[in-house]
Amino acid sequence: MEHITDEMILGFKRYLIDEEKSTATVEKYLRDVAMFCEWLGDRALAKSAVLQYKTELCEKYAPASVNAALSSLNRFFDFCGWHELRVKNLKIQRQIFTASEKELTKAEYDRLLTAAKSKKNERLYLLMQTICSTGIRVSELRFITVEAVEHGIAEINCKGKRRQVFLPKDLRKMLGRYIREQNRKSGAVFVTKNGNPLDRSNIWSDMKKLCKTANVSEKKVFPHNLRHLFARTFYSLQKDVVRLADILGHSSVNTTRIYTMETGVIHRRQIERLGLLRC
């Protein structure tokens, strides 16, 4: 059996780029392959070694994380033509409700907005409302431009898919005022002091600074949770998961269902209301 070489990994990187994978996806695949190579060391590259690695991953990480790592390895093995090294992912039963300690509620969202306003962080105040009122991804914020605010529609081009996102009237008013104050004529609305679009780490850091003032657990405060709140709120009113999938830019409705899961507390109340017990 051959050894994994730097040339193979470089070739795998080029292959992923040619496949138009996002930068984050490419980095994730390469990181997983590098972690396996470090673990492999002087061991022989064989199916038995990969299975042992899988076992050790299961002892250290959550099933979803294990499957993500194995998917990266399987993709690399396919690229190298080592199909016999592929291993099966773990079977994970789909959850029917989400953990309440990780779900951002509407009340907590309101407190975060109040905290941002009290700290005079207007950019963050408007940014959180933009994500939460449209359901866009953090990576799609760059498509919220001066031109999009003027026309009321953002043209999103992400992961090889295009879709239109409508901007609510009140959001357009707030963003329009902010744009005028910033004297911005074109391009992305939310930028750094140097004029570059904000990235996930900038936003994450700013949001975490609100936790203490807003009295919200840090576990709940991250940009993607705002997208989840939009999805749950939309679904609770419309009950249309197919339409929600289109709005969120999901290729599969199964992905959208993850966003619409209720908390265990709500699920418990629903079960208790069935009236099938006699005390």
Tens digit of pLDDT at every position of the chain (279 positions): 578 999 999 999 999 999 988 888 999 999 999 999 999 998 999 999 999 999 999 999 888 899 999 999 999 999 999 999 999 999 876 655 555 677 899 999 999 999 999 999 999 999 999 999 999 999 899 999 999 999 999 999 876 788 999 999 999 999 999 999 999 999 999 998 888 888 888 899 999 999 999 999 999 999 999 999 998 888 888 888 888 888 888 888 877 777 776 655 555 666 677 677 666
**Whole-angstrom Cα Rg for the chain:** 22
Residue 26 within any structural domain of the chain = yes
Asked if 186 and 110 sit in the same domain, the reply is: yes
| Per-residue exposure over 85-122, b if at least 16 CB sit within 10 Å of its own CB, e if not | beeeeeeeeeeeebeeeebbeeebbebbbebbeeeebe
Q: Is 3 an annotated catalytic residue?
A: no
Domain housing 34: 6-85
Given the residues 13, 54, 200, 224, the one annotated as active site: 224
Asked if 172 and 229 sit in the same domain, the reply is: yes
Residue 273 within any structural domain of the chain = no
Residue 49 within any structural domain of the chain = yes
Given the residues 111, 137, 172, 200, the one annotated as active site: 137
Given the residues 119, 159, 172, 267, the one annotated as active site: 159
Asked if 81 and 105 sit in the same domain, the reply is: no
Residue 126 within any structural domain of the chain = yes
Residue 93 within any structural domain of the chain = no
Asked if 59 and 104 sit in the same domain, the reply is: no
Given the residues 21, 227, 228, 232, the one annotated as active site: 227
Q: Is 259 an annotated catalytic residue?
A: yes
List Cβ<8 Å contacts ≥24 apart for 26-34: 28/68, 28/72, 29/72, 29/75, 29/76, 31/72, 32/68, 32/69, 32/72, 32/73, 33/4, 33/9, 33/72, 33/73, 33/76, 34/9
Asked if 37 and 146 sit in the same domain, the reply is: no
Among the candidates 33, 59, 85, a domain finishes at 85
Residue 226 within any structural domain of the chain = yes
CATH of the domain at 107: 1.10.443.10
Q: Which residue has the tokens 């679904």?
A: 235
Q: Is 137 an annotated catalytic residue?
A: yes
Residue 141 within any structural domain of the chain = yes
Q: Is 227 an annotated catalytic residue?
A: yes
Asked if 30 and 142 sit in the same domain, the reply is: no
Closest CA to 76 of 41, 42, 50, 39: 50
Asked if 59 and 122 sit in the same domain, the reply is: no
Residue 95 within any structural domain of the chain = no
For residue 223, give every residue at least 6 positions away whose Cβ sits within 8 Å of its Cβ, in sequence order, or none.
Answer: 131, 138, 200, 203, 204, 207
CATH of the domain at 49: 1.10.150.130
Report the number of distinct structural domains present in the chain. Answer: 2
Asked if 74 and 123 sit in the same domain, the reply is: no
Asked if 105 and 62 sit in the same domain, the reply is: no
Among the candidates 29, 58, 85, a domain finishes at 85
Asked if 126 and 74 sit in the same domain, the reply is: no
Asked if 155 and 202 sit in the same domain, the reply is: yes
Encoded amino acid at 228, one letter: H
